[in-house]
């Protein structure tokens, strides 16, 4: 971190805007690890997470004058990163669809029945022998979520974001965002059910 810069983000932003480019280093230093963690969870690998971090801080720099200081810089750059990650996942999915055929097209639509989208990921019993397999399994299950669902679960569970905050990133309303969170949990549950529960999860809305 630059020497003597213990001040707030606001001060670093002010100095950057005044022409002191190195002042931006403070902001990068202060917030890049948080953004990296989110990006890693979104993308599932370090290489893509690095790309997200770098691009987000570049974009934030270029748009710094638009940042009116009415929100926390960390929150702002986090949002930029989350949006960029969503774009990258969509791009990646589109590339996969092009390569593998149209079977997964449109999976990010909010209207699609979640149950129809849970691909059978049942592993062999040997593969699910320990927690590392669980982590692997979870990684695969996360990769199967739509970009919006993945964003919702990453922001909600690991970063403790409120529904409104997630809704801002998803450019959605709070009710739809709540449903996205719930659907993400349901999909993860079904993907992990053979490992966590040893049986199929209870069907939604079951009455007994």
- Check: CB of residue 12 under 8 Å from CB of residue 27: yes
Q: Is 192 in the site for another protein (CB under 8 A)?
A: yes
Asked if residues 34 and 90 have their Cβ atoms less than 8 Å apart, the reply is: no
Shortest separation between residue 171's beta carbon and another protein, angstroms: 5
Q: Which region, judged by CB under 8 A, interacts with another protein, from 3-11, 73-81, 119-127, 174-182? A: 174-182
Does position 163 interact with another protein (CB under 8 A)? The reply is yes
By the rule CB under 8 A, 36 interacts with another protein: yes
DSSP annotation of 187 reads: H
Which tokens belong to 190? 């079904």
32 binds another protein (CB under 8 A): yes
Q: Which residue in 48, 74, 75, 90 binds another protein (CB under 8 A)?
A: 90
Smallest gap from Cβ 99 to another protein, in A, equals: 18
Q: Is 181 in the site for another protein (CB under 8 A)?
A: yes
The residue from 3, 4, 6, 21 that contacts another protein (CB under 8 A) is 21
Stretch that binds another protein, among 4-12, 22-30, 72-80, 121-129 (CB under 8 A): 22-30
| The binder of another protein chosen from 3, 4, 18, 68 (CB under 8 A) | 18
Residue 1 binds another protein (CB under 8 A)? yes
- Report CA-CA distances (Å) from 31 to 10, 38, 73, 75, 78: 13, 11, 9, 9, 8
Binders of another protein among residues 50 to 89 (CB under 8 A) are 50, 53-54, 57-58, 61-65, 86-87
User: What angle separates helix 73-100 from helix 9-17, to the nearest 10 degrees?
Assistant: 80
Cβ contacts of residue 114 below 8 Å, gap of 6+?
A: 183, 186, 187
- Using CA atoms in the order 90, 166, 183, 34, what is the torsion angle rounded to 10 degrees? 70
């Amino acid at each position: 971190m630059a020497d003597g810069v213990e001040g707030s983000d606001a001060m670093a932003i002010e100095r950057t805007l005044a022409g002191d480019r190195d002042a931006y280093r403070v902001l990068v230093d202060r917030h890049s690890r948080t953004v990296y963690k989110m990006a890693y969870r979104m993308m599932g690998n370090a290489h893509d997470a690095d790309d997200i971090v770098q691009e987000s801080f570049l974009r934030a720099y270029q748009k710094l004058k638009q940042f009116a200081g009415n929100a926390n810089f960390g929150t702002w750059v986090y949002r930029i990163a989350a949006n960029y990650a969503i774009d990258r996942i969509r791009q990646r999915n589109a590339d996969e669809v092009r390569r593998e055929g149209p079977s997964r097209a449109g999976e990010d639509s909010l209207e699609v029945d979640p149950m129809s989208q849970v691909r059978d990921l049942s592993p062999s019993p040997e593969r699910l022998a320990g927690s590392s397999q669980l982590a692997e399994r979870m990684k695969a299950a996360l990769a199967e979520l739509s970009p919006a669902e993945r964003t919702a679960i990453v922001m909600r569970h690991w970063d403790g974001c409120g529904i409104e905050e997630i809704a801002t990133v998803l450019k959605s309303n709070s009710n739809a965002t709540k449903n996205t969170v719930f659907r993400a949990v349901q999909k993860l549950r079904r993907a992990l059910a053979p490992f966590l529960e040893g049986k199929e999860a209870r069907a939604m809305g079951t009455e007994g």
